Every structure is written in structure tokens, then in C-alpha cells.
Chain A
Amino acid sequence: MRATRARRRQRHSLTLNLLMTVMLLYAVLPLFWLIVNSTKSQKALFTTFGLWFGGRFSLWSNIHQVLTYDNGIFLRWLGNTVLYVVVGAGGATFLATIAGYGLAKYRFPGRRAVFAVVLGAVAVPGTALAVPTFLFFSDLHLTNTPWAVILPSLVSPFGLYLIWVYAQDAVPAELLDAARIDGAGEFRTFFRISLRLLAPGVVTVLLFTIVATWNNYFLPLIMLSQPTWYPLTVGLNDWNIQSYTAGGQAIYNLVITGSLLTVIPIMIAFLILQRYWRSGLAAGSVKQ
């Protein structure tokens, strides 16, 4: 732990606080804009100043419209997103955890090869894979199904890497040896002992994969052509596009309020679990 004694003597710097406040305002400004404008009716959006409240307070009616528009398609999109997050991010975290642990704690034939391949894949960005995966899945007739979004989300080489780094220090080999002498099976040992020790690393990976699946856009956009399986991101942009299409009903107020409703759950998850981020990021970036 860092000795803080020597640093307490430092005084607060006004300039530094001011500069950081400017950055804070930059970060918060669009979110403030979003909140302000979800309280406005479609008409008031065009007639009042964007950065302050104006017109009749329409937040509740906007939310009501978002939830009921087009037979409540927004709720369907929300359900789809939750499905993709629970199965995709949950599954990705589980697979990365057992695999990262297996690579860190067992010696087995082919281990080095597995490690090299997975590490190589960390540098392959998800977006670069969207078009190839679409071409492959459409040949297998998997497009337009939830599997087209879920299966690619299940692979997280970066998550595996984080768990591998974390497991090396968090789970001592002596502990595993002791469990073996007591006659516990390897999987029993993993679920009853190791998993608990890995928990902070697992939560970090879970956060990364939740954000990645909740915010996923390119993959579902290319895989799905029917709105029934859209996640929120693709659905919201569909509403936005409709507003610009000739003959389409302009529903900017629904795009804006829908955006607010999309952002709120992920932000709550973030603020609750934020303390895990630092430990996980530290493990991933300091140890190379």
C-alpha cells in the first residue's frame, strides 16, 4: 500500500480543480442534455433552448409513448437486450473464467499453443469480425436468430487473459495441492474454493462483457433484419432513421426518451460495481 503520510502535506490546487471541473462538465453535458430533452414534447424540442427545460413537462407522457409505441416494441427490444446480456455476457464470463483458470493452474499437452492462439486473438477487434461472421452465419442460416448475436458474444479472449493474470496470484498452488490431498475433485475444488478467490477478477470481466453486449451495435445490425430480435441500440437507431425517412413519422421525442431509458440501467450497474473496475484494470494493464 502507498504511504499517504508524505502526500497529505500537499495543498489543494485551485487551477487543477478548475481544469478538472471543465473536463467533468464536458463529460456530463450530453447526459444533462439528454435528461432535459426527455422532458420535452416533440414540438418543444424544436421551439425551446436545448440546454434548459421548456414547454410542458412531458417526461411521463414520453415514457408512456416509448413503452407503447408500435405495440410496445421497445419492451421487446429491452427483453432481447437482457437476453443477450444474460446469456452472452454471463456465458462469456463463465467460459473465460474456467479457461483462464485452467491455463493458469494446469500443465497439459498443447497448453502453449492454446495460449498463443488466444493471446493473438486479443488483438482481433470484434468489429473486424462482424462481416466475416455474418457471411459464415448466413451460410449456416443462423442469421435472424438470437444465436447470431449470442454466439459471437460468448468469446472474450480479453476476459480470459484477465482471469489468467488474476488466477496466478489469487489462487495459491499450495491450496490446490491441499484440496487434492483431502481427496476433493478438481471441479469441486474450483467451484467451492478457487471461484471465491477469483471473484474480483470475475466481476471485472462480467462488467466488461456486460458493457460490450449492452452496447453492441454492428453485430446485431448486420445479423438481424427483423425488428423482433433487435436489441435496444439497433431499435433506437431504427426509430431515428424513421424520423428522417420521407413519409415516416418523426418521433425524435421517443428516440431521446428511449435513449435515456437505455442508459439508466447500465449506469446503475456501473455505479454499484465501479470499485471492481480499478483492481481489474490494474491487473490487466500493469502486468503485461
Chain B
Amino acid sequence: MRVKWTGWAFVGPFLAVFGFALVAPIAYAIYLSLFRQQLIGGNTLVWFANYREALTDPQFWGSVRRVAVFLAVQVPIMLVLALLAALALDSARLRWTPLYRLSIFLPYAVPAVVASLMWGFMYGSQFGLVARLRSALHLGLPDPLSGTWVLASVGNIVTWEFAGYNMLIFYAALRAIPGDLYEAAEIDGAGGLRIARSIKLPALRPAGVVAVVFSVIGSLQLFTEPDVLMKLAPDTITSTFTPNMYAYNLSFAGQEYNYSAAIAVVMGVLTVLAASAVQWYGRRRAA
């Protein structure tokens, strides 16, 4: 610890790229969001006019509401599945633990584009499995890409991709519980369920907070899955399906850079706020 400035030599290169590829774009987006391209006068400083427009933009809030519903339904289902699977892996009552662990984790390695293409083809009407099962068995199966079901179908893809990843986060935390804790509990006559409730669940809290934070971020920033499915379900997935898709289409197809920057900033702030709220809540409950 004698060398005072050596640390900067290690941290410097990271900070340089960090500043250029992360801080500068955010600052530039905030700057852009304060301007507007107008027919008369060209590029003018309009201060918060873009934000005021966003506040009352029904398409934007429609997309926010959609990802909020998605978050409220998909994240609990996925995390409960992951938690139960992790407890099962840790219970020593499974026969081929590594086989289950590896196969359930495997979807995490599949690119979201490929995952969406595979599920999309299975959902789809042309050579889709669902359609074929329906005609073969004369079942009243719903169309997964119809308006009522499309959000659930996207949720299924995301659950498929990340349940195993979250399972592994929980499992890693369970493996870190010291063995003497279990021995003490057994001497005290605690059963399996009691051990799960009093030792395992409290030990899972920090991992749970991490998992919830990442899932909240993932839901609010949803993009790839609905974007790929859009071609299969053009009637139900529009270009304003999620906030990210809206911002993307504004800047890319619509060339409305300033308003798009404002939308991106609002969503970034909402996401960071939501993630911090989860962390704060998790810490407070732990104390």
C-alpha cells in the first residue's frame, strides 16, 4: 500500500473505455433530449418539452404498462421455478444431480435470437407444433401468438432462457451454507422442511436480491424476444410493444433522435430506480 498512484495505472484503461462507451453516451443522450428538430428554426433548445411529451404519450405508457404486467407475472413464476429446482438439486434426494443441473442451465447459453426463433416456429401457424397438435387432436388449444396470449408466449421464452441461470445462482448460495449448521439442526431434531425454512431460505436472501434485480432489469428492458417474434405475429406485436422497441423505432425508422433520447433516458432512470428499490428493500428486510 506504499505506492500511492500505482492503482491508477491498473484502473485507468478501464475508466477510459468506461468514460467513452458508457458515460459519454448517457451524457450525450441527456443533451440531445433537451433539443428538438423544428421546421422553423432548425435545432432548438426546448428544455423539458420532450419529457413533457413523453409523460402524456399513450404509446409510451402503453408499452411501459405492458412490461410492468410482464414483470409482475413472469418474474415470480420464473424465480419460484428456479428456487424449487435449486432446493431439489441441493436436497441430496435426486439421482443424477449434475445431469439436471447442466441441462436446465443449458438454455442460458442459447442466444435470445435463436431461442425466439425456435419458440416462434413452434408457436407459429405455418409449421408450428401448436397448430398441428390442434388439428391432429381436435383440441381447443389457444393460438400462442394471438393478442390474448402473445405476452404469455414471450414470457415463456424468457422463463425458458433464464430459469436455469437463476437456479444456479440459488444453488451456489445453498452450497455455501456451512455443513455444521445442518448438523446442529439435525441434533436439535429439525426435519427437512424445518431446515429448508429456517436455514436455507434465510441464506438465500442475498442471492434472491441479485436474481430479482437482474430479472427486473431484464423485464423493463425487454427487446430481443418480441422484436424477433414481430415477423411471426405482425398483428399482435407492434413496433411500440416495449419501451425499448419504441425508442429503437423512433431513432431508427422515425429519425426522431431527440424524442428517442428522451424515452431512453426515462426508461434508464425507471430501470435504475426499480433495481435500487429492490436492493434497498432486500437490505432493509435483512437487517
Give A155-175 as 1s and 0s: 1 = Cβ < 8 Å from B's Cβ atoms: 101001000000000000100
Please choose the segment from B36-44, B50-58, B97-105, B142-150 that sits at the chain A interface, where 4 or more of its residues have CB less than 8 A away. Answer: B97-105
Does B95 sit at the interface, judged by CB under 8 A?
yes
Give complex CA distance A50, B130 in Å.
10
| A263 in contact with B24 given A3-B182, A24-B104 (CB within 8 Å) | no
Question: Looking at A13, A96, A131, A277, which has the most chain B CB atoms within 10 Å of its CB?
Answer: A131
Does B141 sit at the interface, judged by CB under 8 A?
no
B92 near A8: Cβ-Cβ < 8 Å: yes
A132 near B114: Cβ-Cβ < 8 Å: no
B14 near A33: Cβ-Cβ < 8 Å: no
B168 to A, closest residue via Cβ = A281
Q: Is the interface of A mostly helix, strand, loop or mixed?
A: helix
Does B118 sit at the interface, judged by CB under 8 A?
yes
Please tell me the size bucket of the interface on B: 35 or more
- CB < 8 Å neighbour of A124 from B15, B244, B272: B272
Does A206 sit at the interface, judged by CB under 8 A?
no
Near B by CB (< 8 A), chain A positions 27-65 give 27-28, 30-31, 33-34, 37, 45-46, 49-51
Question: Size of chain A's interface in residues, with CB distance under 8 A?
Answer: 109
B28 near A285: Cβ-Cβ < 8 Å: no
B4 near A108: Cβ-Cβ < 8 Å: yes
Does B139 sit at the interface, judged by CB under 8 A?
no
Q: Which residues of B contact A278 (CB under 8 A)?
A: 168, 171-172, 175
Give complex CA distance A2, B227 in Å.
45
- CB < 8 Å neighbour of A31 from B18, B106, B179, B210: B106
Does B287 sit at the interface, judged by CB under 8 A?
no
Give complex CA distance A278, B248 in Å.
36
CB distance from B44 to the nearest CB of A (A): 18
| A215 in contact with B11 given A128-B264, A281-B169, A286-B206 (CB within 8 Å) | no
Give complex CA distance A109, B7 in Å.
9
B209 near A288: Cβ-Cβ < 8 Å: yes
| A102 in contact with B175 given A286-B207, A288-B206 (CB within 8 Å) | no
Give B180-217 as 1s and 0s: 1 = Cβ < 8 Å from A's Cβ atoms: 10110010000000000000000000110111010001
Q: Which residues of A contact B21 (CB under 8 A)?
A: 133, 151-152, 154-155
CB distance from A214 to the nearest CB of B (A): 7
Does A68 sit at the interface, judged by CB under 8 A?
no
B252 near A151: Cβ-Cβ < 8 Å: no
- CB < 8 Å neighbour of B260 from A124, A135, A252, A287: A135
Does B108 sit at the interface, judged by CB under 8 A?
yes
Which residues of A come within 8 Å of B, CB atoms?
1-4, 6-8, 10-13, 16-17, 19-20, 23-24, 26-28, 30-31, 33-34, 37, 45-46, 49-51, 95-96, 98-99, 101-103, 105-111, 114, 118, 121, 123-125, 127-137, 139, 151-152, 154-155, 157, 160, 173, 180, 186-187, 190, 211, 214-215, 217-218, 221-222, 232-234, 236-237, 240-241, 244, 252, 255-256, 259, 262-263, 266-267, 269-271, 274, 277-278, 281-282, 284-288
Which residues of B come within 8 Å of A, CB atoms?
1-11, 13-15, 17-18, 20-22, 24-26, 28-29, 32, 81, 84-85, 88-89, 91-95, 99-100, 102-115, 117-119, 121-122, 126-129, 132, 160, 163-164, 168-169, 171-173, 175-180, 182-183, 186, 206-207, 209-211, 213, 217-218, 220-221, 223-224, 227-228, 231-232, 244, 247-248, 251-252, 257, 260-261, 263-265, 267-268, 271-272, 275-276
Give the 5 A-B CB pairs with smallest separation, nearest first.
A102-B10, A106-B7, A108-B7, A132-B29, A99-B14
Apart from A23-B81, A123-B276: 5 A-B pairs, beta carbons within 8 A: A2-B178, A16-B93, A19-B88, A217-B113, A270-B109
